Amino acid sequence: MLYNTVHYATMNKKVWDSFPKEIQDAITKVNEEVFATASTMWDGKDGAKGENQLGLDFAVTKGNQLITLSAEESARWNEKLKPLQGQYAEVLNKKSIDGKAVMGKISELTKKYNSEFYK
């Protein structure tokens, strides 16, 4: 769950609101264009859904071995990671953020989008 880094930039909402609409539209357009290109590149390098596995192919040609986990082994690994998710929820709780709710939402969205995109 959540093994890839998400790339993003942020801006203070008051600063954004201070820009004229044409500037906001220009920034939005550029962001959409960059995201469309970057997401395609990311999927290609990541080998998502078996598409364009350039990175995987490169690793194998360098002598690395591809090991595909069985469903049972994958479930076992996921079970071993659950305490880390609980620990992260505790970190959030200490910051006055509902860690259990955040981790629940992440889990919910992961299941939703995995079933949608990785059939």
Tell me the pLDDT of the chain averaged across its residues: 81
- Count CB atoms within 10 A of the CB of residue 75: 11
pLDDT at 65 over 90: no
| High-pLDDT (> 70) share of the chain, % | 75
Give the DSSP letter string of 13-65.
HHHHHHS-HHHHHHHHHHHHHHHHHHHHHHHHHHTGGGS--HHHHHHHHTTPP
**Higher per-residue pLDDT: 57 or 55:** 57
Q: Residue 7: its pLDDT value, please?
A: 62
Do 9 and 15 form a contact (C-beta atoms < 8 A)?
A: no
pLDDT at 99 over 80: yes
User: Could you give the CA distance from residue 83 to residue 93 in angstroms, rounded to a whole number?
Assistant: 15
0.75 surpassed by pTM: no
47: confidence class by pLDDT, cuts 50, 70, 90: very low
What are the extents of the domains in the chain?
Answer: 10-67, 68-119
Task: Please give the average per-residue pLDDT across 7-36, as a whole number.
Answer: 88
Do 40 and 51 form a contact (C-beta atoms < 8 A)?
A: no
